[in-house]
Structure 1
Amino acid sequence: MGITLANFQLKAIEALMEAMGEPNRDIILKSCTGSGKTIILTHFMDEYLKSTNKAVFVWLTPGKGNLELQSKAKMDKYIHGSNTKLLSDIMSSGFEENDACFINWEKLTKKGNNALKDSERTNFVEHIQNAIDNGLTFTIIVDESHQNDTIKADDILALFNANKIIRCSATPKNYKNALLIEIPEEDVIAEGLIKKLLIINENFEQHISVEDQISYLLDKALEKQRDLRAAYAKKDSGVNPLIIVQLPNKSDALLDRVEEYFESKGITYENNLLSVWLSDKKQNLEDIEDNDATPIAVIIKQAVATGWDCPRAQILVKLRDNMSEVFEIQTIGRIRRMPEAKHYGEDLLDCCYLYTLDEKFTESVKLSLGTGALDAYKVFLKPEYRSFTLISQFKTDIPFPRDAKFALKVIWKFFEKKYHTATDLDKNQSQLEAYGYSFDEDIVDFTKSGSVSVLSKDQITELNDISIHEPLNTHKHGKEYHHCVAEIGYKANLDYSSTNTIMRKLFLKGVRCDAKILRLETRNLYAFIINNERRLIEDVRDAMADESLQLTLAIPRITEKPVGFPLEMIFTYDGTSKSQMEYTKNVYTGYLSSAEKRSMPEKLFERFCEGSGKVKWFYKNGDKGSEYFSIVYTDNFGKQKSFYPDYVVGTNGGDIWIIETKGGFTKSGSSEDIDRFTAKKFGVLRKYLDGYNLQGGIVRQDKQSGELCICVDKYSDNIHDENWQLLSEVL
């Protein structure tokens, strides 16, 4: 593979493979622009064609812009030796097994389109019929499917008699009975592929009356472009951020005014700093997508939105006329990709910017992006907090790979602790069996049988378990074994080859290793891994986070240096929230109760600080980047991680508290904290506080009483024990 796939991309490929075995004909792949949809689909097609006979893919792309050529080129690049075809290839040689055919819809649907004359149209239909007669089955991929909801398009889909239709879009329409595969936007952001946030109209005055909306908006955009350019240069990155100016579809007069504005600033077509991409006017577009390309602005209309990839685009100026236009989430998608497919740990660079006086457009953006699109302005640190510092810890800059040897040892020790395994490998097998591990030589699936009168948990658990046994076939189940190993690794942040090595050393006969648990034959190893996949995932993840196993590691070095609070920051908030109260105890002027993004525990804690007689000030810490306060901890596989506690709080008595907030406890006392590392983070926080003579702890809400509680001495996941106290009594 010429490209390393992100974890969410691997999961999407797996979900598509599984969906091919489901009864639903329609599959919807919903993923935001920038998630690498083409990469996901080309790898999925490759994997499916390798595992299935007599299959053909037809990938239909929308409208203008030669998207079919782009998509074919990407598949040729990522998947070496793939059978890709265009419409002209099909017309000359028909459809063949393992083909991936890329066709532009319009060439099939438009009357008067010279791509297919009537006789050729007939020919095309015959090629489809011949393929079906030869036993080939079609799977159709409809790219940007929201653009092709027409009756003509439907007729074409019917011609292929497809067994599956996969529709891809960032904004899919509702299809009845379709199987939805949705890629969570948070996952794409977490991998650093798209910007963390869209900031709308940053630093706009509350009531704007402008002589000229064009100058007002473009001034803001140019200033932001310069700030971004300087910040990239500081990072030794050659990225030249691009402004997209979007004109309304019906306005030629505005084009002249935008060109005049840019000319007055020395930005022209002649010096290559300005580009234009309209249906009847195109200039300076060659290589505009390159990160270091010369143009700093491009003028477009709505139509260019589909499929255009330009990751350095970071600022959108949307001009309006008096006509309301349909909002296109794709337009926003153009400025959401990260230029180097990673975050920089600096809010300025990790966000994208929209400037517009079009309220309808702003509302639509907020509606479709939720807390991914926020209002913003700059806030400044109050003078009395400018000299405050804390010692912050940073990971030592040596890249510290996950060490398979560490991981192996830790998993071995975890099994010893949990299942009492030892050096007698035969005894280990009966030991694991007693704890519920399966050693069946067949692949076993479970289902239920019996009848229930109501769908209650009790009645369902009383049903009979039926196990379905399928003899292991190393060829057929080899793929499944690899999937399981990859999934175990994915959950523990280990790559496939390390995970496979660990599984073989721990469990396979004939592979020498001091830390061995079982001695299975190859066939039995396959069955063991497949049948126990869920259990192994849980055990490997728990091994990675188990506090008591940490002692086996040599702690890598940590760098320490003092950090203060940033003198200014972009404050993001939800302008539609009912409460817009200013929190006067925050260290920044103008910090509102509608601050976003904030989790519910964070919102409750901020409200507590503002209302507490003991709290003098509070500061919300950032979540990545060297300008924020962090403490370093090491997971059990030897990887250093940075922990950014949520809040620093000063009391009237002069104490400094460091607080981390987590999910609460339900009314029945069960935990809503999804972070496996909370206990580990508490351990390093406690050690840090003791080392610097500070106070602190972890704050969670007890939903039974509605109160916030704090744990300061010893961490516990049981809200009812004495380690949890009411926050109001402690702070």
Structure 2
Amino acid sequence: MSIPADFQLKAIADLMDAMKGDKREIILKSCTGSGKTIILTFFMDEYLKCFDKTVFIWLTPGKGDLEVQSKRKMDKYIHGAQTKTLVDIMTTGFEANDVCFINWETLNKKSNNALKDGERTNFLEHIEKAFNDDLSFKIIVDESHEGDTIKGKEIIEYFQTDKIIRASATPKNYTDATWIIVPEAEVIAAELIKKVLIINEGVKQGDEVVDQIDYLLTKALEKQRKLYSSFASHGANVNPLIVVQLPNKNDVLLDGVERWFASKEITYENGLLAVRLAERHENTAGIEEPTAKPVAIIIKQAIATGWDCPRAHILVKLRDHMSETFEIQTIGRIRRMPEGKHYDEPLLDSCYLYTMDEKFTESVKMSLGKGALEAANLHLKESLKSVKLVCEQVSGIAFSRDQRQILQTIYAYFKKHYNIDTRTIENKKRLEANDFLISNYVRQYVTEENKIIAAGDRSSYKDLKMTYIQAPINTTIHGREYHHIVGEISLRVGLKYEDLNAIFRRLFVRTAGKKPNINQILLLENRELYAFVLNNRELLKNAVRNAASELGDQLHLEFNALSDKTTKKDFWLPRECLFTYDATEKSQRVLLKSVYEGYLSSAAPRSSSEKKFEKYCESAASVQWVYKNGDKGAEYLSIVYEDAYGKARVFFPDYVVCVNGEIWIIETKGGFDKYGNSEDIDKFSPRKFAVLKAYIDKYNLKGGFVREDKKSDELCICMEEYSDDVSSASWSLLRDIIS
């Protein structure tokens, strides 16, 4: 069974939260290749564990078999999943815990028999019987940008649902809805999609293009051959695919493309060329396989929903004189990684667009933002090829989590933030003073508009006038809800439900016949724990999540403490880099201090602190050279650290700098605003600083964290002891340290 990535686990938890909210519509926006099916199938499985009188209806668009593909994936991911198609429903009806995959077209077309009276109970009667059996329906609309039609709305209303989840990479602008947005950067970090889209690499401004077909396809085929060779050198058996997109209703361009490929001995007859048009499919069977024979496929403007080909790597967008609507779905077809991983090779971890269509290019940039950039291959300066450091990576050895360490970490968090100690009676008072509700009842709040809010969510509505109602603990109803909340919290921090459940009991529940243990916070009865967790769900969720990033007095942050979880190797400055930049920036100055020839001031993506730091280094006389490190990949410099729960992680310091002949390692972070408030959103900054300090001490280097102080408009550096207070002695002006 596949294990969801961290960002997918967060999305699952967010969906669980949204199901408790008051909005009927829930929008899941997640880019193509992010594993929406994994997110939704694991979410449904988790939800059905808590609410067993539920039936999910999964609606898919298109004339293909997307509903069959989705069903197969859930059967693969969730062992024992109770999945059905429309045929199964017509045979057995709806049952508790069903997940039913239905194609819109099946219910829309005039010839379907599902909604007609006949010998079998018809579809609407099956729904009515489900209502009589006290079943409730929840709706998932896959690729929702295609399913929002009048007929589609009619079908949804058959099920009288209170929740509709609409999933799409490009959802419509629903205003009265709960939005769950999966950050594209996290999908890239999970290595599911390519790091960046390179636009018109090698296309020089001012080039005279007489024949766009010959000009663009030549560059695309050259790139395809380089990719093929690079895959082979990495031991990957992948045949990268060129996707040639033509405007709709332009047979002249189609004929020209076919003739150009034929001149290169790439034809339908020898299996190297494929075509996928509404009225014509050739050589498309099995084209998604990594080693499939076709090197190019011709498509029209609209691509069939559900057509996924992870080996697609290059898009050639040809144009005519007509204006066409930009389709982000098209770009999504070349963004998946063919083997679900990065290769730590910029050539392979990027995808490529070649086009003379300026409007299309601008639409791509607007849609992808920093994910769509111009690029150039830069080479390391000869004099710096001997620079060597030590790179740390997490070893492949699996380590079990120490439940006692996790328990002590959460206890330490409560001790630090709520001042609890061994006196459990006093702890009750202190927690109540910090907005915890400790009661024998499960409380709900009612607003003036008669809206009911769970006690654990009341902080989100603190400005509303509310009264409350409360109910005695019901072990069946509230036990199920307790399981749901503990499962949701554990999902967010990567713990097992069983571990967190046991930890909550150690922290908060009295053990009959025994004295309180050393980490005891409260002395609740077993059933009272349900009320405590239900009434304080948000506070507990934040405590468990934030505790993972705490330093803690008892934790091992010495450099050698991670030796069992760390592998080391020599690190050399990469000989070549795929440099991405924003060609629309006003300044395109070459930064001479960079280790790469031709490195521009418009380098992108870059944070404000990074851009300011690069600019400072360029003007600082003591700085001899600057290397901008990558943010993920085995070819970049990384350092291993642990979170407070014992999970090994890596971070990639932003810069390696040579100052007066000494090597410095620099990490830039969000700055301090004009009032001195921290703008750093990384909760793990103190832990990263501690391990960076240990690293530079061990290897006799220098370095620290650099942040911008917006009050003084200066860059500041912290080198010895980390502090989130810019006015403390921990922070010095960068210009006083690196002049």
Shift of 1:533: 3.8
Q: Give 3-state SS (helix, strand or coil) of 1:550's partner.
A: coil
Residues 93-124 of structure 1 deviation map (CA, whole Å, 9 limit, x = unaligned)? 6666655443333344455x56679878x996
Matched to 1:622, the amino acid is: G
Match of 2:531 in 1: 527
Matched to 2:555, the amino acid is: Q
Aligned: 1:546 with 2:558: no
2:520 to 492, 511, 517: 517
Distance 1:715 1:224, change over 3 A: same
Match of 2:455 in 1: none
Q: Give 3-state SS (helix, strand or coil) of 1:348's partner.
A: coil
Match of 1:68 in 2: 67
Distance between the aligned counterparts of 1:306 and 1:415, measured in 2?
50
Shift of 1:664: 0.8
2:683 to 661, 673, 676: 676
Alignment of 1:61-210 (within 5 A): 61-79=60-78, 84-89=83-88, 99-110=98-109, 113=111, 127=125, 130=128, 134=132, 138-157=137-156, 162-210=161-209
Match of 1:706 in 2: 713
Aligned: 1:596 with 2:600: no
Distance 1:526 1:339, change over 3 A: farther
Matched to 1:526, the amino acid is: Y
Shift of 1:435: 6.4
Shift of 1:462: 9.3
Distance between the aligned counterparts of 1:462 and 1:207, measured in 2?
60
Distance 1:561 1:20, change over 3 A: closer
Larger mean CA deviation between 503-512 and 625-634 belongs to 503-512
Distance between the aligned counterparts of 1:542 and 1:22, measured in 2?
26
Q: Does the 8 Å contact 1:428/1:517 carry over to 2?
A: no
Residues 406-455 of structure 1 deviation map (CA, whole Å, 9 limit, x = unaligned)? 333444555566667667777766776676655433334567899xxxxx
Shift of 1:470: 3.3
1:582 to 582, 590, 613: 590
Larger mean CA deviation between 137-146 and 441-450 belongs to 441-450
Shift of 1:183: 2.5
Query: Which runs of 5 or more structure 2 residues have no equivalent in the other structure?
Result: 450-460
Distance between the aligned counterparts of 1:431 and 1:311, measured in 2?
55
Q: Give 3-state SS (helix, strand or coil) of 1:598's partner.
A: coil
Aligned: 1:656 with 2:663: yes
Alignment of 1:303-702 (within 5 A): 303-412=302-411, 438-444=437-443, 468-510=469-511, 516-517=519-520, 520-540=524-544, 541-542=546-547, 544-546=549-551, 548-551=553-556, 554-557=561-564, 558-651=566-659, 653-702=660-709
Shift of 1:569: 0.7
Residues 595-633 of structure 1 deviation map (CA, whole Å, 9 limit, x = unaligned)? 111111111111222233443332211122232223333
Matched to 1:181, the amino acid is: I
Q: Does the 8 Å contact 2:27/2:180 carry over to 1?
A: yes
Q: Does the 8 Å contact 2:124/2:158 carry over to 1?
A: no
Distance 1:403 1:630, change over 3 A: same
Shift of 1:659: 1.6
Aligned: 1:730 with 2:722: no
Shift of 1:84: 4.3
Distance between the aligned counterparts of 1:689 and 1:85, measured in 2?
58
Q: Give 3-state SS (helix, strand or coil) of 2:562's partner.
A: coil
Q: Does the 8 Å contact 2:115/2:124 carry over to 1?
A: no
Matched to 1:485, the amino acid is: V
Q: Give 3-state SS (helix, strand or coil) of 1:60's partner.
A: strand
Matched to 2:728, the amino acid is: D
Query: Which runs of 5 or more structure 1 residues have no equivalent in the other structure?
Result: 451-459
Match of 2:244 in 1: 245
Q: Give 3-state SS (helix, strand or coil) of 1:349's partner.
A: coil
Distance between the aligned counterparts of 2:591 and 2:733, measured in 1?
23
Matched to 1:517, the amino acid is: Q
Q: Give 3-state SS (helix, strand or coil) of 1:572's partner.
A: strand
Shift of 1:669: 1.0
Match of 2:454 in 1: none
Matched to 2:389, the amino acid is: L
Shift of 1:673: 0.8
**RMSD between aligned alpha carbons?**
3.7
Matched to 2:735, the amino acid is: S
Matched to 1:624, the amino acid is: K
Distance between the aligned counterparts of 1:543 and 1:15, measured in 2?
19
Distance 1:311 1:503, change over 3 A: farther
Q: Does the 8 Å contact 2:342/2:633 carry over to 1?
A: no
Matched to 1:712, the amino acid is: M
Match of 1:455 in 2: none
Distance 1:50 1:383, change over 3 A: closer
Question: TM-score with structure 2 length normalisation?
Answer: 0.86
Residues 1-55 of structure 1 deviation map (CA, whole Å, 9 limit, x = unaligned)? x432334334434444444454444333222212222333344445555655775
Residues 62-84 of structure 1 deviation map (CA, whole Å, 9 limit, x = unaligned)? 22212232233334444555554
Matched to 2:27, the amino acid is: I
Shift of 1:572: 0.8
Larger mean CA deviation between 381-390 and 74-83 belongs to 74-83
Q: Give 3-state SS (helix, strand or coil) of 2:354's partner.
A: strand
Matched to 1:291, the amino acid is: P
Matched to 2:714, the amino acid is: E
Match of 2:458 in 1: none
Shift of 1:286: 2.8
Shift of 1:719: 1.0
Match of 1:454 in 2: none
Distance between the aligned counterparts of 1:345 and 1:477, measured in 2?
48
Distance between the aligned counterparts of 1:563 and 1:153, measured in 2?
56
Distance between the aligned counterparts of 2:224 and 2:31, measured in 1?
24
Q: Does the 8 Å contact 1:400/1:640 carry over to 2?
A: no
Distance 1:85 1:650, change over 3 A: closer
Q: Give 3-state SS (helix, strand or coil) of 1:696's partner.
A: strand
Distance between the aligned counterparts of 1:88 and 1:394, measured in 2?
50
Residues 530-569 of structure 1 deviation map (CA, whole Å, 9 limit, x = unaligned)? 4444444444433643153333884324544442321211
Distance between the aligned counterparts of 1:146 and 1:359, measured in 2?
25
Distance 1:359 1:697, change over 3 A: same
Distance 1:481 1:648, change over 3 A: same
Distance between the aligned counterparts of 2:67 and 2:721, measured in 1?
60
Q: Does the 8 Å contact 2:609/2:669 carry over to 1?
A: yes
When the two structures are aligned, how many residues end up with a matched partner?
Answer: 719
Distance between the aligned counterparts of 2:49 and 2:645, measured in 1?
35
Match of 2:297 in 1: 298
Q: Does the 8 Å contact 2:609/2:707 carry over to 1?
A: yes
Matched to 1:180, the amino acid is: W
Matched to 2:206, the amino acid is: H
Matched to 1:324, the amino acid is: S
Distance between the aligned counterparts of 1:537 and 1:584, measured in 2?
48
Distance 1:715 1:230, change over 3 A: same
Question: TM-score with structure 1 length normalisation?
Answer: 0.86
Distance between the aligned counterparts of 2:463 and 2:302, measured in 1?
58
Q: Does the 8 Å contact 2:486/2:501 carry over to 1?
A: yes
Match of 1:457 in 2: none
Q: Does the 8 Å contact 1:128/1:159 carry over to 2?
A: no
Q: Give 3-state SS (helix, strand or coil) of 1:571's partner.
A: strand
Q: Give 3-state SS (helix, strand or coil) of 1:12's partner.
A: helix
Distance 1:68 1:627, change over 3 A: closer
